[in-house]
Amino acid sequence: MITRVEIDGFKSFLDFKLDVPPFLALVGPNASGKSNLYDAIGYWLDSRLYHSDAILADRRGRPAELFHMDDAGRSVEVFTVEMCCLVNLPDGLAGIKALAGARMEDGVPKHQLYDTRILDLTTDGDLPDAVRTRESRQIHDFFHDEDRFNVVANSLETELVRVLSYPGDPRAMRSVASLADQRPLRSDGANLAAVLGRMGSSPALDDLMVDLAALVPDVREVRTELDEKRQEWSFELVLEGQGSVPSTLLSDGTLRILGLLAALHDPDHAGVLLVEEIENGLHPGRLAELLRRIQERVTDLNDPASLDRPLRQVIITSHSPVVVSELYRSRPEALVFMDTAVRVDPDKERVSRVTVAKSVRDGGEPGTFVSPRQVRKYLGTVRQDEL
């Protein structure tokens, strides 16, 4: 689970800081930096998985374009992406601060910066008591015992990379999937049949069905089938008035919702779920219900029972006023407005446009927050049939 992100020099970010709750909605216009934030998290994740090859990973923009540029086309020399994370270990929770970055050397971008630190949760006054009292002691006690610490470090690394970016590709989600596929849902959803098949042996599929029926009312059942000869999973939905409908005939919107719920309910693979433009494929009238269902599934940092289960976090982006309206009413601390501002650095004679994140609160430094009155004014300009 990500608790804080700090980005400097990556794409549209300069000295950017954002506290991240278990459920976070990033809203704002196009080109405000929402996707760039996902790209920054993706770079950080690639650095854990591929180390020096992270700079070459497949993402939007060439390696040199990852470095922030000013209005004159001059790029910074270094960028860093640093994240504070909360992870499950066998004997409790651990706080980790991990940095990744890159540097320009003779005009050539190179991944060079990599650092991981252990945080002391017990002294962090911003964390709830339920988190502080569950801090892992092994990660501190084993620090000077290389063999035992390596075991803990391996568990730590496994937990840190539990991040799934879910755009979902309905064409891929219609396919069969191998019985041998025990992985979490892929970004395109191509192994959805395998995830549902694996979930069929646990109560998780029943829980998923409850949420799916609330969002797609005609659905009565999710059925999975294993082809023993081919060792492949397939699935179908039972719809009221239509009977069994195979995955190949399901609508794009239904498949995308099913994939999102599968990732959200997967009992074997919790972690961080990133969802871009969550409103895509979903009727506006069902969007508020989906947000409520998601909030019921993410970890509650104030609830000891919730912390005893695998940590689960969801970060979404959206353009929808429905998201703003629902979260402003029910969970305003989860709502962050993304925008751009002009940053002037007189010392370096640099002018550039940067991404800023504005939380909802009553006051603060100008340009760093959105007031409740501004939110209400924005919602007042939206037609009621859009809410």
Query: What digits encode the pLDDT tens for the residues 79-118?
Result: 999 999 999 988 899 999 999 999 999 888 887 777 889 9
Last residue of a domain, one of 269, 287, 316: 269
Q: Which residue has the tokens 């430094």?
A: 365
Give me the percent of the chain exceeding a pLDDT of 90: 70
Identify the residue with better confidence: 383 or 267.
267
Q: Residue 314 and residue 24: Cα distance in Å, rounded?
A: 7
pLDDT computed for residue 68 by the predictor: 95
Interval 282-307 mean pLDDT? 94
Query: What digits encode the pLDDT tens for the residues 317-335?
Result: 999 999 999 999 999 999 9
pLDDT interval class at 273 (50, 70, 90): very high
Which of 263, 375, 382, 254 shows the shortest CA–CA distance to 320? 382
* DSSP secondary structure letters along 192-259: HHHHHHHHTTSTHHHHHHHHHHHHSTTEEEEEEEEETTTTEEEEEEEETTTEEEEGGGS-HHHHHHHH
Q: Are residues 150 and 202 in the same domain?
A: no
Identify the residue with better confidence: 384 or 107.
107
3-state secondary structure (DSSP) of residue 331: coil
What mean pLDDT value characterizes the chain?
91
Query: What digits encode the pLDDT tens for the residues 32-45?
Result: 999 999 999 999 99
pTM: 0.93
pLDDT computed for residue 387 by the predictor: 56
pLDDT computed for residue 3 by the predictor: 97
Q: Residue 90 and residue 155: Cα distance in Å, rounded?
A: 9
How many folded domains does the chain comprise? Answer: 2
Last residue of a domain, one of 248, 269, 290: 269
| Sign of the alpha-carbon dihedral angle for 34, 95, 158, 190 | negative
pLDDT exceeds 80 at position 383: no
pLDDT computed for residue 50 by the predictor: 81
pLDDT interval class at 384 (50, 70, 90): low
Q: Are residues 138 and 9 in the same domain?
A: yes
Helices and strands counted in the chain (H then E)? 12, 16
Q: Are residues 287 and 262 in the same domain?
A: no
Q: Are residues 339 and 326 in the same domain?
A: yes
DSSP percent split of the chain into helix, strand, coil, nearest 5: 35, 30, 35
Q: Are residues 57 and 157 in the same domain?
A: yes
Interval 281-287 mean pLDDT? 86
pLDDT exceeds 70 at position 385: no
CATH of the domain at 139: 3.40.50
Query: What digits encode the pLDDT tens for the residues 336-349?
Result: 999 999 998 887 77
Query: What digits encode the pLDDT tens for the residues 110-127?
Result: 877 778 899 999 999 889
Which of 237, 272, 274, 278 shows the shortest CA–CA distance to 257? 278
Q: Are residues 306 and 260 in the same domain?
A: no
Last residue of a domain, one of 253, 269, 285: 269
Residue range of the domain that includes 121: 2-162+271-386
pLDDT computed for residue 254 by the predictor: 94
Q: Are residues 299 and 229 in the same domain?
A: no
Give me the percent of the chain exceeding a pLDDT of 70: 97
pLDDT computed for residue 148 by the predictor: 74
Q: Are residues 255 and 362 in the same domain?
A: no
Interval 294-317 mean pLDDT? 96
Q: Are residues 193 and 241 in the same domain?
A: yes
pLDDT exceeds 90 at position 355: yes
Q: Are residues 228 and 374 in the same domain?
A: no
Q: What letter does residue 266 receive in the DSSP assignment?
A: -
Q: Are residues 132 and 55 in the same domain?
A: yes
Q: Are residues 38 and 158 in the same domain?
A: yes
